[in-house]
Structure 1
Amino acid sequence: MSNVAFDNRNLNEKIYYYLRDKIVSTELKPGTRIDYNEIANELGVSKTPVRDALQLLQQDGLIEVKSRSGTFVSVPKVKDIEEIYEVRKALERLAIQLAMTNLPKQTIEQLYQNALDVDKDINAGNFHSFFQSDRNLHKTLIIYSQNSRLIKIMESIEAQMHWIGVIIAHSQERPRKANEEHKEILQALLNSDILLAQNLMEKHIEGIKQMTLKDFK
């Protein structure tokens, strides 16, 4: 790892986001042992803010502490995946219903055009834009729900959802299929067919759940 320096403002939070990004992007792969001293030396900080940041990551379910063994990047478990995606299905179905009274048609059109552009990158084996597009679509619907509690709950599981998504996207077929489903959902929204959009979203998330479970069972 390259040496990275942080100032002392909001140090715990800076380290938290720095490590979270490494975990979510799988630069730190599931099962990787976390070395406090190595992180502290790399960032030029003491072990105390590193420990505090790791406690936050543990609350997120992204790391786990094993007695007598150490601290490790979590390995997703079947129960975790089932719970996350069941909650996500219910919340995103509701988000569509609430968002449609606030969501400008121009925004939906932009999301649809973005999904079309992403197809080219997927065909070239570049998934980065797909992950960005995926997060943007789902986050836009959540934000436009204008329901603060719904938004807060989704934020609490967002890192885990993105992390699992990166782990399973090891072929072109999964991102390609997901992007096709995104376009179907957006087309339903453009047609103001809220029920169809909700059903397609629920099917989309259930499909991701089943693909993920297949990998981890």
Structure 2
Amino acid sequence: MQAIKRSTLNQKTYKILLDMLFSSEIPMGSQLEERELSDKLGVSRTPLRDAISQLVREGLVEYRPYQGNFVKHWNAKQVEDLYTVRKSLEMLAIQLAIPKLSNEDIDAIADILEQAHKALEADDLAAFGACDSQFHQLIIHKTGNETLINSLERLSLQIQMVRTLANRDPYVVKRTSYERPRILQALRDRDSEQAAFLMGEHIEGVKESVVNQIRSAEKPQIV
């Protein structure tokens, strides 16, 4: 029973830290100060360290010898690499999913996109991001291809982390709201080639936004 309670506490601590990373409450590049976080979350160092170790394994936090743990600060090359792989896998996923999507599945996707639109109108980027994740996950899981599903799930947290940068760009958010209905129509038409093209175009646009933001931040400031 004690082991179960400890495991539950570890996962709760992990989930809180994950939310803090995704919301940028703990910004990229920041050091995770154990004493400060322990006091803030009201937990001991043990579950906190276990949660941080899990984030390190998932590639969201980096351990630096003699310095500590830091939220991963993505550079432009890392984002390009991540999104190049994501684009290829998700274009394949939507092609594999279309023959297996029922009318009910497509209606569910339409509902998710409607919720995303409402979140956008309310300027609720957290809810918008959650809908975005649901949209992609539904399509991915409908492929029935375990290798593909597992590959994208391993990348999903890193993608969500980087996506927080894209959601700061009003142009990308508006473009996304325009692109999604076109993808939905391709799904309704069972046009796998068009759906894959539109998905690739969508992911490429997000990648360009994030890379541009990172490169702008890396430019030396002229005083």
**Interval containing the TM-score (normalised by the shorter chain):** 0.7 to 0.9
- Amino acid of the structure 2 residue aligned with 1:8: R
CA displacement, residues 132-170 of structure 1 (integer Å, 9 cap, x when unaligned): 221111000111011112111111111111121122312
**Residue in 2 that maps onto 1:170:** 168
**Cα deviations by residue, 1:158-207 (Å, 9 ceiling, x for unpaired):** 11111211223124332121121111111101011110001111111111
Equivalent residue in structure 2 for 1:24, among 22, 25, 30: 22
When normalised by structure 2's length, the TM-score is 0.85
* Higher alpha-carbon deviation: 123-132 or 31-40: 123-132
Aligned-partner SS, 2:14: helix
Query: How much does 1:73 deviate?
Result: 1.3
2:107 is the alignment partner of 1:99: no
Residue 72 of structure 1 aligns to a residue in which SS? strand
1:127 maps to which of 113, 125, 136: 125
Unaligned runs of 5+ in 1: 1-5
Aligned residues with identical type, % of pairs: 32
In structure 2, distance between residues paired with 1:133 and 1:166 = 13
Q: Distance in 1 between matches of 2:168 and 2:7?
A: 37
Please report the RMSD computed on the Cα atoms of aligned residues, expressed in angstroms. 2.1
Deviation string 1:71-100 (CA, Å, 9 cap, x unpaired) is: 221111222211211111111111112212
User: Which TM-score applies when normalising by structure 1?
Assistant: 0.87
How far did 1:28 drift? 1.2
Structure showing the higher helix proportion among its residues? 2
Report the Cα offset of residue 127 of structure 1.
2.3
Q: How far apart, CA to CA, are the structure 2 residues paired with 1:41 and 1:208?
A: 37
Partners in 2 of 1:86 and 1:178 — Cα distance? 18
Please identify, of 202-211 and 39-48, the stretch whose mean Cα deviation from structure 2 is larger.
39-48
- 1:36 maps onto 2:61 in alignment: no
Alignment equivalent of 2:193, drawn from 192, 195, 203: 195
1:161 to 133, 146, 159: 159
The alignment partner of 1:86 has SS state of: helix
Q: How far apart, in 2, do the equivalents of 1:128 and 1:111 lie?
A: 18
Deviation at residue 213 of structure 1 after TM alignment: 0.6
Q: Which residue of 2 aligns with 1:3?
A: none
From 56, 62, 65, the counterpart of 2:63:
65
Aligned residues of 1:24 and 1:166 also touching (Cα < 8 A): yes
Q: How far, CA to CA, are the matches of 2:197 and 2:85 in structure 1?
A: 15
Render the CA deviation track for 1:88-126: whole Å, top value 9, x for unaligned.
Answer: 111111111221222112221332244245334423423
Rounded Cα–Cα distance in structure 2 between residues aligned with 1:107 and 1:70: 45
Q: Deviations over 1:39-58 (max 9, x none)?
A: 33344443233222212211
Q: Which residue of 1 aligns with 2:218?
A: none
Unaligned runs of 5+ in 2: 216-223
**CA gap 1:72/1:145 in 2 versus in 1, 3 angstroms:** same
